[in-house]
Amino acid sequence: MLTNTKNTEHVFKSVGTSPVRPDGVPKVTGIAQYGADYSLPGMLWAKILRSPHAHARIRSINTAKAEALPGVKAVLTSADLPALPFDYVGPERVAVNYWHMTRNILAREKALYEGHAIAAVAATTAAIAAEALTLIEVDYEILPHVIDVDEAMHPDAPLLYEDMITRGIEPAPSKPSNISKRLEFKIGDIDAGFASADEVVELSFKTAPVHQGYIEPHSCLARYGADGQCELWSSSQGHFVVRAYTAKLLGMEIGNLVVHPAEIGGGFGGKTVVYVEPVAVALSRKTGHPVKIMMSREDVFKATGPTSGSSMTVKVGVKKDGTIVAADGLFKFQGGAFPGSPVMNAAMCAFAPYIIPNVRTVGFDVVSNRPKSAAYRAPGSPISAFAVESVLDVLAQKIGMDPLKMRLKNAVKAGSPTVWGPKHSHDGYAETIQALLDHPEYNKPLGKNQGRGVASGFWFNGGGESAASIHINEDGTVVLATGSMDVGGSRASMALMAAETLGVPYASVRSTVADTASIGYNHVTGGSRVTFATGLAVVEACNNIIEELRLRASIMWDVDVTGVVWEDGYAKPADISVGDFEPLSLKAIAAKRAVTGGPIVTEAAVNAGGQAPGFSTQFCDVEVDPETGAVKILRFVAAQDVGRAIHPKYCEGQIQGGVVQGIGWALNEEYIYDKQGRLANAGFLDYRIPVASDLPMIEAIMVEVPNPNHPFGVKGVGEANIVPPMAAVANAIQRATGKRLTELPMSPPRVLAAIDAG
């Protein structure tokens, strides 16, 4: 069910409709090609040998027997890849360190988690490659391991890096630890703030690592030619980033690698990095043949990028009237075997929806013997929100205030402060709260063992680099290309924005995703940036093309270009004084292109800023079985400020999808490790994502408070919806049972234990 709150007088012809997407028919007929669907003649199959140990020194790797197996064409280890310097590169929040990255692709000194890639084999069949793996002899010195974040921070914890000195602490510690970094944000005076509060609540929380859970395992096909030119077909969230990382890891020039964007079967952040691509390219280079790799489901769980597990303490103080006067959050995140958990995001987003004069957030980025975390939909924010939104619920109950009204009282708007410095630039949060207050079901009474929970969330959303090109075909149809991978229907949104800007029907715009050799740089499809930033590039390209079309018309009419206007898809004379000319369609102008200047093309590029953040407020009704601890979701309503829904059905789908991931995270999803630090549930049987019978219909409410920095008012929609659900469910369980759960997931044994604890 869809409820739109429109804040606009504009009437659009294309934007705001929900037509069939360009890649729709290929996807419902099985023609669309994902990463594993490509083949080339003479192709080899590659398999990767992975560490069976959570932590071990690699004394030696002997590949001779594997190399000798008939059908094996090459064996790869880290010795085949160049050494890269230790350096954190790029903005702090998203910094990359290639010294770490190359070791995650293929281990060097140590195996740092069970599943860590050690070597790879390319052979004529997958079965031979698999057998060859069994012939690779690795001499491991097994070391004690540590998984849990609190245990990893302990001074006596086994160290992953004997030289890791915590950054962000002055003076620097003298002894190494597993704490890669400490960070802190602060405004105001929290001691004074808490002293002025009428009620203060402090609670601690723990969350287990969870995986993005995309259904498609990582896959790619690489063909490296004897001339050093390589083509790579890969499903990823950003083929330009794949190109950059792969070239760097192999010591290649970027221009020698062309990456073709395969369709992607889900990413949610987890496919913004590389795992198999550098291995496939290196093996293709070594063998002179195309090489295909497809990760198994087990390897996806063991060796890609689940998000952090955490240990958190959050303290908030309020006045009797619900004003929040102080907030303090401590966030300890384990980022896996290499630094880079999203704790900085968590520390920034935690209290971001609220005007609080005194705030401190402290974060620790901790390494532990599990796979390196990668982005997962608003990375970090859902985790800290679980803690903050739970504490706010406890406070709302203490002061006897409706939890939505308490949020509304403290809601940020344009000009409100943030803990990290700059002021909020956009309204929209309050409107999401209001949408729920106005919802007919919000005040509906519930029955026995039932409860209703409320939560909100914030996500920065991204801008960044995108490019778009437009060609007007000889018959006046339009080819629109961008370099933004399409994970959820963005080709349609780009076409809608182009159709609207050009004034032509959606059906006349062919929207494609171009490879890295055919368009300018596009950053990842992630951070909820594409409809915003790539949309800006598309609109700019359309505006450029309109200028060109006006110029061509002016030549055709032999008038000054100032006498030509573009209206509803036609070049028209600005007024009767210019001349009595019939309007010219794209088709008519294209027909004369040879004599007016040749092909009608343009490319535009942006480094977009001015994006608006995502705000979402949600309520959830649950029923808890008091004898088993089973939690049933009865109703889930999620309001999100989307700025403007370009394609309303796809927008809605983002909200529904993010909410359901959040429900899984709340109730059943977790990484379960055995005593040897090995993953006990590396499959969809025991890593339990929600199934269709677990859920009711998820109601998405798209609130539209347009972003003035985008021609159509777009705000990124993909991520903010996953931030509130865990707290919404926890708060609902509390209202249903009287028990506050502070550990995720809130699986039946935990809920039952809480109920039975009396």
Partner 1 sequence: MSKHHITTVINGDPVEFLCLANQSLLDVLRNDLNMTGTKEGCGTGDCGSCSVTLDGRLVCSCLVLGVEAQGKSIQTIEGMANGEQLHVLQRKFLEHAALQCGICTPGFLIAARSLLERNPDPTEEEVRFWLAGNLCRCTGYNKIIEAVLDAARELRGA
Partner 2 sequence: MIEMRFEQPKTAEAASALLAGTQGLAKVLSGGTDLMVHMRNGNVKPELVLDVKGIAEMNTIAVEDGGYRFGAAVSCMQLLENKAFAETWPGVIDGANLVGSIQVRGRATVAGNLCNASPAADTVPAMIAAGAIARVVGPKGRREVPVEEIPAGPGKTTLEKGELIVSFFLPKRAPRSGDAYLRFTPRTEMDIAVVGVGLCLTLDANDVCTAARVSLGAVAERALLVPEAAAALIGTKVDEAALANLAAAASAAARPIDDKRGTKVFRIKLAGVLARRAAEKALSRAKGN
Report what 749 binds from partner 1, partner 2, none; CB cut-off 5-8 Å by kind: partner 2
CB 213 → partner 2: shortest distance, Å?
A: 13
* In 558-669, alpha helices (H): 586-591, 593-596, 648-667
User: Can you give the binding site for partner 1, defined by CB under 8 A?
Assistant: 18, 20-21, 23-25, 27-34, 36-37, 39, 126-127, 212-217, 263-268, 294, 296-297, 487-489, 647, 649-650, 652-654, 656-661, 683-685, 689-693, 695, 697-698
Pick between residue 224 and residue 671 the one whose CB is nearest to partner 2: 671
Pick between residue 29 and residue 60 the one whose CB is nearest to partner 1: 29
Residue whose C-alpha is closest to residue 419's, from 471, 369, 363: 363
DSSP characters over 231-287: EEEE--S-HHHHHHHHHHHHT--GGGEEEEE-B-S--TTTTSS-SSHHHHHHHHHHH
562 binds partner 2 (CB under 8 A): no
Peptide bond connecting 745 to the previous residue in cis, omega within 30 degrees of 0: yes
CB 102 → partner 1: shortest distance, Å?
A: 29
CB 685 → partner 2: shortest distance, Å?
A: 7
Tell me the helices (H) and strands (E) count for the chain, helix number first: 20, 27
Q: Which H/E stretch holds residue 297?
A: helix 297-303
**Stretch of residues binding partner 2 (CB under 8 A), selected from 384-392, 403-411, 704-712, 746-754:** 746-754
Residue 749 CB-density burial (10 A; 0-12 exposed, 13-18 middle, 19+ buried)? exposed
CA distances 714 to 4, 561, 642, 718, 725, Å, are 15, 31, 7, 12, 23
Pick between residue 168 and residue 748 the one whose CB is nearest to partner 2: 748
Q: Which H/E stretch holds residue 67?
A: helix 64-68
Residue whose C-alpha is closest to residue 238's, from 553, 531, 523: 523
Contact assessment for residue 732 and residue 748, using Cβ atoms and an 8 Å cutoff: no
627 binds partner 2 (CB under 8 A): yes
What angle in degrees, to the nearest 10, is found between the helix axes of 239-250 and 277-287? Answer: 50
CB 219 → partner 1: shortest distance, Å?
A: 9
694 binds partner 2 (CB under 8 A): yes
**Stretch of residues binding partner 2 (CB under 8 A), selected from 264-272, 342-350, 563-571, 628-636:** 628-636
Pick between residue 11 and residue 685 the one whose CB is nearest to partner 1: 685
CB 270 → partner 2: shortest distance, Å?
A: 22
CB 681 → partner 2: shortest distance, Å?
A: 6
CB atoms within 10 A of CB 70: 8
**Stretch of residues binding partner 2 (CB under 8 A), selected from 384-392, 436-444, 462-470, 622-630:** 622-630
Q: Return d(Cα 664, Cα 306) in angstroms, integer.
A: 14
- Footprint of partner 2 on residues 633-692 (CB under 8 A)? 667-668, 672, 680-681, 685-686, 688, 690-691
CB 44 → partner 2: shortest distance, Å?
A: 18
Report what 20 binds from partner 2, partner 1, none; CB cut-off 5-8 Å by kind: partner 1
Pick between residue 647 and residue 678 the one whose CB is nearest to partner 1: 647
Pick between residue 20 and residue 672 the one whose CB is nearest to partner 2: 672
Report what 667 binds from partner 2, partner 1, none; CB cut-off 5-8 Å by kind: partner 2
Pick between residue 96 and residue 695 the one whose CB is nearest to partner 2: 695
508 binds partner 2 (CB under 8 A): no
Pick between residue 213 and residue 380 the one whose CB is nearest to partner 2: 213
CB 291 → partner 1: shortest distance, Å?
A: 15
CB 631 → partner 2: shortest distance, Å?
A: 9
CB 675 → partner 2: shortest distance, Å?
A: 12
Q: Which residues contact 146 (CB under 8 A, 6 or more apart)?
A: 55, 152, 157, 158, 178, 368, 369, 677
697 binds partner 2 (CB under 8 A): no
CA distances 649 to 2, 497, 653, 756, Å, are 9, 15, 6, 43
696 binds partner 2 (CB under 8 A): no
Report what 203 binds from partner 2, partner 1, none; CB cut-off 5-8 Å by kind: none
What stretches of 389-449 adopt beta strand conformation (E)?
Answer: none
Q: Which residues contact 327 (CB under 8 A, 6 or more apart)?
A: 190, 193, 314, 315, 316, 317, 350, 351, 354, 356, 358, 359, 360, 388
Q: Which two three-digit tokens encode residue 341?
A: 């958990």
Q: Return d(Cα 230, Cα 288) in angstroms, integer.
A: 11
Pick between residue 267 and residue 706 the one whose CB is nearest to partner 1: 267
Report what 259 binds from partner 2, partner 1, none; CB cut-off 5-8 Å by kind: none
Residue 320 gets the label, from left (phi > 0), alpha (psi -120 to 50) or beta, of: alpha
Report what 688 binds from partner 2, partner 1, none; CB cut-off 5-8 Å by kind: partner 2
Report what 681 binds from partner 1, partner 2, none; CB cut-off 5-8 Å by kind: partner 2
Q: Return d(Cα 718, Cα 694) in angstroms, integer.
A: 23
CA distances 235 to 22, 121, 296, 680, Å, are 18, 21, 15, 27
Binding mask 104-143 for partner 2 (x = CB under 8 A): -----------------------x---x------------
Q: Is the dihedral of CA 253, 255, 260, 266 positive or negative?
A: positive
Cα angle for residues 400, 405, 411 (degrees, 5° grid):
130
Binding mask 230-269 for partner 2 (x = CB under 8 A): ----------------------------------------
CB 293 → partner 1: shortest distance, Å?
A: 13
- Torsion, Cα of 548, 551, 557, 563 (10° steps): 120
Pick between residue 127 and residue 195 the one whose CB is nearest to partner 1: 127
How big is the chain, counted in residues? 758
Q: Which of 693, 697, 757, 758 binds partner 2 (CB under 8 A)?
A: 693
The size of the interface with partner 2 (CB under 8 A), counted in residues, is 24
Radius of gyration of the chain (CA): 27
Binding mask 575-614 for partner 2 (x = CB under 8 A): ----------------------------------------
Report what 36 binds from partner 1, partner 2, none; CB cut-off 5-8 Å by kind: partner 1
CB 448 → partner 2: shortest distance, Å?
A: 17
Binding mask 28-57 for partner 2 (x = CB under 8 A): ------------------------------
Contact assessment for residue 183 and residue 363, using Cβ atoms and an 8 Å cutoff: yes
Q: Return d(Cα 245, Cα 495) in angstroms, integer.
A: 30
Contact assessment for residue 353 and residue 457, using Cβ atoms and an 8 Å cutoff: yes
Q: Which of 32, 143, 565, 630 binds partner 2 (CB under 8 A)?
A: 630
Residue 573 gets the label, from left (phi > 0), alpha (psi -120 to 50) or beta, of: beta
Residue whose C-alpha is closest to residue 610's, from 346, 425, 333: 425
Report what 16 binds from partner 2, partner 1, none; CB cut-off 5-8 Å by kind: none
Q: What is the DSSP letter of 51?
A: -
Report what 753 binds from partner 2, partner 1, none; CB cut-off 5-8 Å by kind: partner 2
Report what 25 binds from partner 1, partner 2, none; CB cut-off 5-8 Å by kind: partner 1
Report what 713 binds from partner 1, partner 2, none; CB cut-off 5-8 Å by kind: none
CA distances 504 to 14, 499, 546, 599, Å, are 9, 5, 12, 19
Q: Return d(Cα 316, Cα 323) in angstroms, integer.
A: 11
CB 719 → partner 2: shortest distance, Å?
A: 25
CA distances 18 to 15, 487, 495, 651, Å, are 8, 16, 11, 10
- Interface residues toward partner 2, by CB under 8 A: 127, 131, 627-630, 667-668, 672, 680-681, 685-686, 688, 690-691, 693-694, 747-749, 752-753, 756
